[in-house]
Structure 1
Amino acid sequence: MDGGTERMALRWFGAARRRARAREDDTRVLARVADGDAGALTELYERYARPLFAFIYRLAGDRGTAEEILQDTLLAVWRSAGTYQNRSSVSTWLFGVARRQAHNRLRGTPPPLTAEPSEGVDPLPGPEELAVGDDRVRAALARLPPAQREVVVLAFLDDLSHREIAEVLEIPVGTVKSRLHHARATLRGYVDDRTS
């Protein structure tokens, strides 16, 4: 093994170890939440509020509604932490809880016209916002059907794998791939139409 390949292998194994430790730590923190430790819930909030808010915001299209759904999510996590069975990562489980809370809140609500914040409101900008920083892309994303929007947000903004997305959405991996394929085609069409 040459030096470059060895360094890459060591970095990969180091990253894999860090992810495994983070997953174990998340599991311990969630167990503390299940035991009634409010400080542990705060730890989870500090770790996952940004990506969960970004996901919920893209589903709701409104900052105020997204904040309410995030609070609903935290309450649901507090109440149901004891049901976590370690079949997926804690982060995947949290996204599933957030998705269910969003669907409960948004049921019967017409989809948003745009996922843009109102003038002067900053929806926690960060890497997830920069990933779709182009106005054309954001407008196109808001026009996607909700099932496709969920998959795109989880894949590209929250960087979940196909398997993790399938767990969050409780659908087969093949359906995730199909929705991503259709969403990409739809997004490409929207962006192309606006540039013409």
Structure 2
Amino acid sequence: MTAAETDRALVERVAKGDRAAVRLLFMRHHARLYRFAARQTGSELMADDIANEVFLELWRQAPAFEGRSEVSIWLLGIARFKALSLLRKKKEDWIDDDDAAQVADGADTPEVVTMKEDKGAALRCFIDAMPEEHRPCLLSRAIGERDRRGTRHPGRQVKTRMFYARKELGEAPKAAGYDRGWP
């Protein structure tokens, strides 16, 4: 009698409620299932839980075992499913609610958002109110254009206009009562 036939015979005994057969299968396959689960999860604690759950599942599913594969392969399939389910659940539960409540919220408060929107709108108004020769220099700089070809002015003149545009844009918010920087 080969080991595979014996395993199948033991599963048949488990299907009939034989606890000794479960113990024998446990002794034969526990170490392999444990090592497999440890490789799948990277955790010895999780691997031990998975290996034990496989034998609980064996107890429940033994009557449904059809013998289309080796018992060891069937048990490894159960272990793989358990490991994937546990890893999926671990990703979902990676932080509990108490820990999540202690994490500081880095998002702006509604008040700060409103202040930023107001300041942004004011800056747009200041830019719109600038002399026509300063606006293109400032806007091209603001969007990151380093090329002066779109301004129709020589490089030195662009630098001068940029200097005055930035100076004016820096003074206008102060005159309107806005403090420097974002809220």
TM-score, normalised via structure 1 length: 0.44
Which structure's CA Rg is the greater one?
Answer: 2
TM-score, normalised via structure 2 length: 0.48
Name the structure, 1 or 2, with higher relative contact order (CA <8 Å, separation 6+): 1
